[in-house]
Structure 1
Amino acid sequence: MQAAVTDHRADVAVLHLQGELDADTAGQLHAVLADLLERPVPRIVVDLSSLKFCDSVGLSAFITSKEVISARGGWLSFAGANQFLAQLMENVGLGRYFAIFPEVDDAIAAAQI
């Protein structure tokens, strides 16, 4: 898995993920999220458009970050999931805890509301 962060506006970071997120690469995701969680108010859009696969270990990194994000008044949303990832997130109920958008621009626009 490859991860890159770009800032949109002063308060929204987009985490671009590429490749496969699984037990072998989840540590890398934890490290990137730890850096983002250091922000005073973490507002993170995770761009899944180039992520080909994700298992439960990968998803758990997002779920465990939610407490820190919520405690700081921030949020984490997902955007651009392929059909496999969209179905996976629906099956495990992530839509109840995180906003899921079709495109990154949609997620960023929703942050302005």
Structure 2
Amino acid sequence: MHISVVGNPDASVVVTVRGNLDIDSAAVLTTTLDQVLGGRTPRVVVDLSDVEFCDSTGLSAFVVGNNQAIAGGGWLRLAGPNNFLADLLTTVGLTTRMGVYPTVADALAAPTG
């Protein structure tokens, strides 16, 4: 798995994840989200367009990150999941807990509230 972080002029951050998000790699995502969500009013989009597989530890990282973002007055949004991941997010109920968008641009442009 590979993660990259890019800040935007509007103070939002895009975290791009590539490869498999599983028990061997989810800790890296959790650590990254802890770092970027620690700022003022955290607004984070996790780009999942290059994620090939995600297990329960990856899903847990999304839930923990989302809870941390909300506690800080911000948000965490997921963008670009493939069909497998989109179905998984729906099946486990995450699409009703956090925003899931087809693209990073859609996630960044979505209204807050």
Q: TM-score scaled by structure 2?
A: 0.93
1:56 corresponds to:
56
Stretches (4+) displaced over 6 A: none
Q: Deviations over 1:7-34 (max 9, x none)?
A: 1223210010000000000111111011
Matched, 1:28 2:41: no
Matched, 1:108 2:95: no
1:17 corresponds to:
17
1:68 corresponds to:
68
Gaps of 5+ in 1: none
- Report SS of the residue matched to 1:45: strand
Q: CA shift at 1:72, angstroms?
A: 1.1
Matched, 1:7 2:1: no
Q: Distance in 2 between matches of 1:56 and 1:27?
A: 12
1:95 corresponds to:
95
Query: Is the Cα contact below 8 Å between 2:37 and 2:44 reproduced in 1?
Result: no
Q: CA shift at 1:112, angstroms?
A: 6.9
Q: Distance in 1 between matches of 2:78 and 2:67?
A: 17
Matched, 1:86 2:86: yes
- Counterpart code for 1:41: T
- Report SS of the residue matched to 2:41: coil
- Report SS of the residue matched to 1:18: strand
Matched, 1:45 2:45: yes
Over 3 Å counting, the alpha-carbon distance change for 1:105 and 1:91 in structure 2 is: same
Q: Distance in 2 between matches of 1:66 and 1:31?
A: 14
User: Which of 91-100 and 2-11 deviates more?
Assistant: 2-11
- Counterpart code for 1:97: R
Q: Distance in 1 between matches of 2:8 and 2:65?
A: 21
Gaps of 5+ in 2: none
